[in-house]
Amino acid sequence: MTYRRRPSSLHAAAAGAALAWCAALALAVIVQTNPVVLGALVLSVLGAGALAGVRHEMCRALWLALVLALTICVINALVSRDGLTVIWRFGDLPILGQTNVTLEATAYGAVHGLQAAALVLLGALYSLAVDPDQVLVLFRRWSFRSALSATIATRMVPVLIRDSKRLADAQRCRPGAAPGRIQLMRATTSGVLDRALDVAAALEVRGYATAVPVSRRARRSWSRHDIGFSAAAAVVVVISVASRIAGWSAFTAYPVLRAPAGAREVAVGLVLALVALAPFADRRGVQT
């Protein structure tokens, strides 16, 4: 799951604008707890993935997100002692003790699971659609080495995936009993160190160690996609925060569940989704 240039509005936007859009949606996911609004945000992220041409990759990420959401929901339902509406009595369980599952704890877990799922999907979309090289350029003015280290660590991932596949293939070619897991782990670890040394040597000879910060960067004109995604990010932030302050998308789990799903909540969810997806409507110049 790595970045590859694709003909989409999100890919055509500058990394700063795309990053701002992802961050705004992440903020919306964190501040919004109403299930209707959160559902709308999850759907917007999935829709954005489809519009950005990364539908298959997002579907794979969705499985991981659903497993994570379900796990959070189940764990909270089992361990939380809050809530008044008991929906299942397990009785006395080992380790957990007296366990009663309440509707409130289940709903609370489900909401946090939904938030986690939305953040996983946003992370996947960021990896697939935001150019890490541009992000490095963006951040190098403030913290060049941290940004570069993060980018290099990201670069090592595909190299190590290829290495581990090679090692696995080589072990499949071995006749007789397969080596133990510990032996394989040690071999893999020493391979990782060799690779890291090679990459570090390449960085040295490219002048990484003595890199000079760029003093004055050229001003890049804002493209229509930069403007679109930046504006959408700003509006998403304003609506999310304002609706939260105004109590238009309220959700309380304890002691009694209150999760309104009226016109106000639907409107907030719908507006957030439309604003988030609006920049994708403009497909002019998406191959630049």
Partner 1 sequence: MSLVSIAELTYRYPGAVTPALDAVSLEVNAGEFVVLAGASGSGKSTLLRAVSGLVPHFYGGAFSGRVSVAGNDTREHGPGDLARDVGTLFQDPETQIVMGTVRAELAFAVENRGWRPAAVARAVEEAALALAVDGLLDRSTAELSGGELQRVALGATLAGRPAVVCLDEPTSQLDPVAGDELIGLLRRLNEDQDLTVILAEHRLERCLAAADRVIGMIEGRIEFDGAPIAFLEWALGTAPYLVTPGARLLSRVGLDPQPGVKAARAALRAARLLPEPQPIPDVEAVPGRSRRPWKRPKQVYALHFDGVWHELREGPVALRGLSFDVAQGERVALMGRNGAGKSTLLRHAAGLMKPTRGRIETSGRVALLLQNPTDYLVHDTVAQEAPAGALERFGVAALADRHPRDLSGGEKQRLALAIVIGDGNGGDGGADAEAGGAGVEEPAVLCLDEPTRGMDRAVKEDLVAILRTIGAAVIVATHDPEFAAAFADRVVLLADGAVIADGAASEVLCGGAYFATETARILGGAGGALLPEEGAALLARERVSA
* The one among 195, 231, 235, 278 contacting partner 1 by CB under 8 A: 195
* The one among 63, 92, 177, 263 contacting partner 1 by CB under 8 A: 177
Query: Could you tell me how many residues make up the chain?
Result: 288
The packing angle between helices 263-277 and 35-51, to 10°, is: 20
* The one among 4, 55, 141, 258 contacting partner 1 by CB under 8 A: 4
| Largest distance between two CA atoms of the chain | 68
| Binding of partner 1 by 133 (CB under 8 A) | yes
Backbone angles phi, psi at 92, to 5 degrees: -90, 110
* The one among 19, 137, 253, 286 contacting partner 1 by CB under 8 A: 137
Backbone angles phi, psi at 282, to 5 degrees: -90, 110
Comparing CB distances to partner 1, the nearer of 85 and 164 is 164
Please report, as residue ranges, which positions from 220 to 249 form the binding site for partner 1 (by CB under 8 A): none
* The one among 91, 94, 207, 247 contacting partner 1 by CB under 8 A: 207
Contact yes or no for 160/198 (Cβ under 8 A): no
Selected range binding partner 1 among 102-110, 202-210, 245-253, 269-277, rule: CB under 8 A: 202-210
Quickly list DSSP for 135-185.
HHHHHHHHHHHHHHHHHHHHHHHHHHHHHHHHHHHHHHT--SSPPPHHHHH
Selected range binding partner 1 among 32-40, 73-81, 89-97, 177-185, rule: CB under 8 A: 177-185
| Binding of partner 1 by 62 (CB under 8 A) | no
Provide, rounded to whole angstroms, the least separation between the CB of residue 123 and partner 1.
17
Provide, rounded to whole angstroms, the least separation between the CB of residue 5 and partner 1.
6
Tell me how many degrees the CA angle 201-206-210 measures, rounded to the nearest 5. 95
Selected range binding partner 1 among 183-191, 233-241, 252-260, 277-285, rule: CB under 8 A: 183-191
What 8-state DSSP symbol labels residue 252? Answer: B
3-state DSSP assignment of residue 97: strand
Provide, rounded to whole angstroms, the least separation between the CB of residue 21 and partner 1.
19
Cα-based distances in Å from 30 to 80, 128, 154: 21, 21, 25
Report the interface residues with partner 1, using CB under 8 A: 2-5, 131-134, 136-137, 151-152, 155, 158-159, 162, 166-167, 169-179, 183-184, 186-187, 190-191, 195, 198-218
